[in-house]
Each structure stands twice: as C-alpha cells, then as structure tokens.
Amino acid sequence: MSTADAERVVVGRIGRAHGIKGEVSVEPRTDEPERRFAAGNALITRAPGGSAVSGVVPAQLTVDGTRTHQGRLLVRFAEIADRTSAEAVRGVWLEVAVDAAEQPDDADEYYDHQLVGLRVEDTSGTTLGVVTEVQHSGAQDLLHLDVDGRVVLFPFVSALVPVVDVAGGRIVIDDRPGLLTMDDERD
C-alpha cells in the first residue's frame, strides 16, 4: 500500500499509566482490538486535538503485549519502559494506516475518510451541508459539519444520525433544538 493510497483510522486512545513498568490503559476505538493491538503491531500516534506529537511522544508505538485488568485493556509498548514515559503519552490517539478502498468488517462501522465529504440531509430530505471532519472524543464521536459556511459539531450517535449511506454520498440527521439549529431558526 502506498502512502498516497492510505488513510488513517483511529483504533484507540491511551489512558492512565498502570504500574511502574510502562504499561498503559487503552480505550479501544475499534471492534477488532485483538487484531489492532496484537503484539508486534506498530501504531501511529497523534496528540490530543489533532496536533503533532511532541518530541517526548514517539511517532509510532509498537505493541509488546496486552492483557485485560478489571475490564480495561492494558497495553505494553516497546518504546515505553517506565511510569514517567507512560504518563507522558496519556491522551494520545492511536491510529493505523488502511488502504483507502478497505471497508470495515461490520456494516454499521465507517472509517473517517468514508464520512468526510458526505452530504448532510435532515429527515425530510433537505440538504443542510457537508461533513468536513470526524472528531473522536472521550464521550462520543462528533461530526464537523459545514452548514452555510459555519462549522457545527454534531453528535455521531445512531439516535441522531439514523442513516449513513456511503454509496449514496449522504447521511441523514435528526436535528434537535440547540444542536444544529436554534429554536428561533425553526419554522
């Protein structure tokens, strides 16, 4: 796969340090944690907020091993040897490069690059804007929508986004007052 044909997919976010030997908790953002966090896999790092990682955080981390502890995924990375290093990577996003043509195994999953550029419609079919970015946060994912030149953050949850039609180039949102439009903007 060439770099030009690759897209990045978020697979997890590093949480707290666990113990003194560099182990960290990871919040998986994939339905395939056993595949993405298999020993030997190299994961690309991205600082919180999408900025470049600092010199303290390696550009990639190699999985050395995983285990589950009290329902949390704990990961050892080859580049993190102690608690101080583990604390320095807290909040870092973990990504993998996938071929732009690759599709997720589950029909209800989408890679970010599949959503960016989709037309946004309301439940009556009126075009509202376009998806410009997908933001992964601790609580839920947010869609960045360009609506008449303004950026609107919209929760990417099934109750509010009932239809994702990648082949048709659109998503349908079920707006609620205060999310996309204000009460006084509605008819």
Domain layout of the chain by residue ranges: 3-99, 112-185
Question: If you count them, how many residues does the chain have?
Answer: 187
Please determine whether the domains at 3-99 and 112-185 fall in the same fold group of CATH: no
pLDDT at 4 over 80: no
pLDDT at 30 over 90: no
**What is the pTM (predicted TM-score) of this model?**
0.63
Class for the domain spanning 112-185: mainly beta
pLDDT at residue 19, rounded to an integer? 92
Give the distance, in angstroms, between the CA of residue 167 and the centroid of all CA atoms in the same chain. Answer: 21
Residues 144-161: tens digit of each pLDDT: 999 988 898 999 988 999
Cβ atoms < 10 Å from Cβ of 36: 20
Is domain 3-99 classified as CATH 2.40.30.60? yes
